[in-house]
Structure 1
Amino acid sequence: MASRKQGNGDTITGFPYNAPCNGSWKLILPCNREEAQALAEGEIGGFILMDEPPVIMVSEPDPNLPENWRLEAYFDREPDGTLVAMLRDLVPSASHLQPVIEHIEEQDWVVLSQSGLEPVRAGRFLVCTPANIIPAEKGLKAFTIDAGRAFGTGHHETTTGCLMMLDKLKRQGQHFSNIADIGTGTGLLAFASRYLWQSAKVIASDLDPVAIEVAKENAVINSIPMGRGRCQVEMVIAAGLAHRRLQQRAPYDLLIANILAGPLIELADSFVPALASGGCLILAGLVKEQEKAVCRAYQRLGMRLADRVVLGDWPSLLLVKRPNF
């Protein structure tokens, strides 16, 4: 089961596939913030038992109304009463409302979801989707990122925040030679790190084999050399640091993890020992309410909070490993 963020506050949850929608259907229901957060964390009720559950997206249509969210579910057939009832179970606040059901002509739902996304500027980076490529201004590094079945087009605040933090570290004169991007998704953060520190070795991992396929495709699109050497990106399939190559490459002077708060807390005991003394750790994928718990998990192991970038409800944290830990 996959859950990934996309768009400005949008989160997609569901079966990770990129199949064409042959006469597919979209169902829309309003929901509240609490329900949207549960969906963003992959709580999709009885749909988890389906061979091909719907693709579910939650979004915040109006930032001035932070409690008012929207659920969109994409089906490969017209949703019947049973499916509608299952969706209503996910959003009790809308149980009395009639959903809007729309037919979608044959097209790729991922392309559809990306087609309206404007290019994103984050520090010195310009991130475009294949559906909306623009020339980069002088001084900007452009990446074309196709999310496919992975997370990380740069349009969500967590990815943007990580890009801004990387850019800030470079402007501060930080130098890194051994970098890991855990939960790489589309590969964007690994590619950005490689661009900023071109003498570094970069390894990127994801527990989803499909995400690694997408990241490799994006490496080709952006002319990123693959391999184990300097100025190259190596990719492996792994949960956390549970891979021989990730363990061999440690200790890292920069480790990036843009995942979710729960896994970030669980992985603290493996992330911190994998960092060199004085090493930097960028954490994202958490909301403001989860920041204290995430920080506590790392501070007890000798990390200190050095900086943060906050975009909306999404902080991206920079922690530094204290000497002698």
Structure 2
Amino acid sequence: MSAKTLTTADADTDEPSGDAWKVTFEGPRAQIHAALLAHEDAPDWDSEIVIAGSEIADDRPDDWQLEAWLSHPPAAHDLAAMRALFDGDAPTETIEHLPPTDWVTLSQAGIEPIREGPFYVHTPDHPALNAPGVRDFVIPASLAFGTGQHATTAGCLAMLAMMKRRGVVVRNLVDIGTGTGLLAFAALHLWPRARALASDIDAVCGPVVARNADANGVRLGDGGGRLAMVIAAGMDHPLIEASAPYDLLIANILAGPLVELAPAFASAVTPGGHVLLSGLLTTQEPAVRAAYARAGLRLAARMTRGDWSILWLRRRRFGGGRSRATVPSDWSRRW
């Protein structure tokens, strides 16, 4: 799968587009994220210029790029508008001419189906497996992260299946940073009577999750066997707080926010409850595990996928109490 992407606009077409040009700026994640936020507040932004931010590579989570697409060669005023997003400190840009391309087909290219435990995840370009004991999920490539191909998402699917095999019972679950909704869907398949809640910091994920739920027969709404969706940073939403405590909390986000949210996550799960974490590199695992040990959770199982760690933690059955969730000042997803 390509790098996780945070986008601010999307083009949907059934026909190949004409020639296009791409302008790319590379910089630290915080700098690119700040530029994307500046774009959202730019009142006179040319709607013909589509921009997106993404990781440059999966093993370089702090190195990002901002890309801008135009249907014409970028003029001086176009480049000036892009540079202005960086508040006077714009990285040197590169400009690339792109030939006519069917962007919809291209967006699906290279995304092969995956099989993890009882789950088979594929894009609409591939048929369902339709095999006994296998749950097919069709997840189109989209603005939201989580088609299953990234090691963190696939690892979470495998860990959820392990939890089920080991007898974990889930009646109430939450998926923080849900992206496409895939992990919440998978959890509901394993525990079909559970009440489920999904959240994401990016508003684009709301309609994405709704479309994917409809395509996969996942019922939306409140109550057992249904999935509710909210837009929130971390745990900062009244419904997330009111629906706690949870038997299972899933968070496939970033190591930094995982560390800062450890107390809030721990207080939001039941004594003996389960937390599934991913989005952290193996080099970041000691810091994450230490934060959750201080919050009263112990390691139940771990697995690695390439450079990434997937952690299953359990809250101790004694001590601790619910506290109001706090949001890290720099909380953001990787897309």
1:139 Cα deviation from its structure 2 partner: 2.1
Moved more, 269-278 or 129-138: 129-138
5 Å-filtered alignment, 1:32-111, equals 38-39=28-29, 43=32, 49-50=38-39, 51=45, 54-57=51-54, 73=67, 75-78=69-72, 80=74, 101-105=97-101, 107-108=103-104, 111=105
Q: Which residue of the partner structure matches residue 121 of structure 2?
A: 127
SS of the residue aligned with 1:181? Answer: strand
Out of 4, 19, 22, the position equivalent to 1:11 is 4
Q: RMSD of the alignment, in Å?
A: 3.4
SS of the residue aligned with 1:220? Answer: helix
Aligned partners of 1:130 and 1:145 also within 8 Å: yes
2:250 counterpart of 1:261: no
Aligned partners of 2:196 and 2:225 also within 8 Å: yes
2:110 counterpart of 1:116: yes
Query: Deviations 1:196-227 (Å, cap 9, x if unpaired)?
Result: 01121111112222201110111100111112
2:209 counterpart of 1:215: yes
1:42 Cα deviation from its structure 2 partner: 7.0
Q: Which residue of the partner structure matches residue 296 of structure 1?
A: 290
**5+ residue gaps in structure 2?**
40-44, 84-88, 320-335
1:159 Cα deviation from its structure 2 partner: 0.7
SS of the residue aligned with 1:55? Answer: strand
What amino acid is the match of 1:116? G
TM-score, structure 2 as length reference: 0.77
Distance 2:161 2:31 in 1: 31
SS of the residue aligned with 2:131? Answer: coil
What amino acid is the match of 1:153? T
5 Å-filtered alignment, 1:244-323, equals 244-323=238-317
Aligned partners of 1:24 and 1:75 also within 8 Å: no
Query: Deviations 1:156-204 (Å, cap 9, x if unpaired)?
Result: 1111011011011111121111111111111111110010011211111
2:231 counterpart of 1:234: no
1:91 Cα deviation from its structure 2 partner: 8.2
TM-score, structure 1 as length reference: 0.79
Aligned partners of 1:26 and 1:72 also within 8 Å: no
1:323 Cα deviation from its structure 2 partner: 1.8
Count of aligned pairs = 301
Query: Deviations 1:23-54 (Å, cap 9, x if unpaired)?
Result: 3636598x9xxx7xx45x77367566444553
Moved more, 288-297 or 52-61: 52-61
Aligned partners of 1:176 and 1:253 also within 8 Å: yes
Query: Deviations 1:123-156 (Å, cap 9, x if unpaired)?
Result: 1100011122332333211100124221111111
**5+ residue gaps in structure 1?**
1-6
Q: Which residue of the partner structure matches residue 4 of structure 1?
A: none
SS of the residue aligned with 1:10? Answer: coil
Q: Kindly report structure 1 stretches of 4+ aligned residues shifted beyond 6 Å.
A: 69-72, 89-92
Q: Which residue of the partner structure matches residue 25 of structure 1?
A: 20
Q: Percent identity?
A: 38
